[in-house]
């Protein structure tokens, strides 16, 4: 009976395996892709990563579709401030993604897309091609350009709870018609 009992006990683990496989597949399929992954199946991804980009030859595509999260630390105040009509902004990449992405990334929304970057200090999720801009004039040649999707991750996050000049309060300085938050 000792050998038969051992076989019965070992078979108990076989019953949940198909269930676990189905649950794992469902979690992957329904849960989507987390920030920082190559997001080829994200609904915001497009087939042409260069569509709508001014002078796409200057961009080296690192990933045709990436998802990155971070906090907007600078942005221009309108499309008219860029010669190509793009909305431009920079994000401080979430620390959990800084091994994959640089600490700060530049992002641009092209005119053909009717997106507006959220306010300065907003924690966002960006979807778009991850590129290296060989003609970058910002300090960040790695970019999400163009941004196909931008959404606030936390709409009620405290942005600047401390009063100006207080320890830990951000410094707000004018920058290219927008502002920098440091």
Which domains does the chain possess? 2-31 (no CATH), 56-181 (2.40.50.140)
Q: Is the dihedral of CA 49, 54, 56, 59 positive or negative?
A: negative
In sequence order, what are the residues at sequence separation of 6 or more whose Cβ sits closer than 8 angstroms to the Cβ of residue 80?
none
- For residues 132 and 101, give the distance between their C-alpha atoms in angstroms, rounded to a whole number: 12
pLDDT of residue 101: 94
Task: Kindly report the length of the chain.
Answer: 182
The 3-class SS string of 51-120 reads CCCCCHHHEEEEEEEEEEEEEEEEECCCHHHCCCCCEEEEEEECHHHCCCCCCEEEEEECCCCCCCCCCC
Question: Among 118, 120, 109, which residue's Cα sits nearest to residue 148?
Answer: 109
CA 155, 40, 108: angle at the middle one, nearest 5? Answer: 55
User: Tens of pLDDT along the chain (182 residues)?
Assistant: 566 655 555 555 444 545 444 333 333 333 333 444 446 678 899 999 999 998 999 999 999 999 999 999 998 876 667 778 888 899 999 999 999 999 999 999 999 998 888 899 999 999 999 999 998 876 778 999 999 999 988 655 544 333 344 344 444 444 444 444 44
């Amino acid at each position: 009976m000792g050998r038969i009992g051992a076989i019965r006990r070992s078979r108990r683990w076989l019953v949940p395996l198909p269930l676990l496989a189905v649950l794992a597949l469902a979690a992957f399929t329904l849960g989507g892709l987390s920030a920082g992954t190559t997001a080829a199946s994200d609904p915001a991804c497009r087939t042409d990563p260069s569509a709508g980009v001014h002078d796409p030859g200057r961009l080296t595509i690192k990933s045709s579709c990436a998802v990155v999260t971070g906090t907007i630390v600078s942005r221009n105040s309108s499309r008219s401030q860029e010669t190509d009509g793009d909305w431009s902004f920079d994000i401080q990449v979430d620390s959990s993604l800084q091994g994959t992405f640089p600490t700060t990334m530049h992002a641009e929304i092209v005119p053909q897309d009717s997106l507006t970057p959220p306010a300065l200090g907003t924690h966002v999720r960006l979807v778009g091609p991850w590129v290296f801009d060989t003609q970058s004039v910002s300090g960040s040649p790695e970019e999400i350009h163009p941004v196909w999707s931008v959404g606030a991750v936390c709409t009620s996050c405290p942005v600047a709870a401390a009063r100006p000049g207080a320890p830990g309060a951000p410094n707000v300085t004018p920058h290219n018609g927008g502002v920098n938050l440091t």
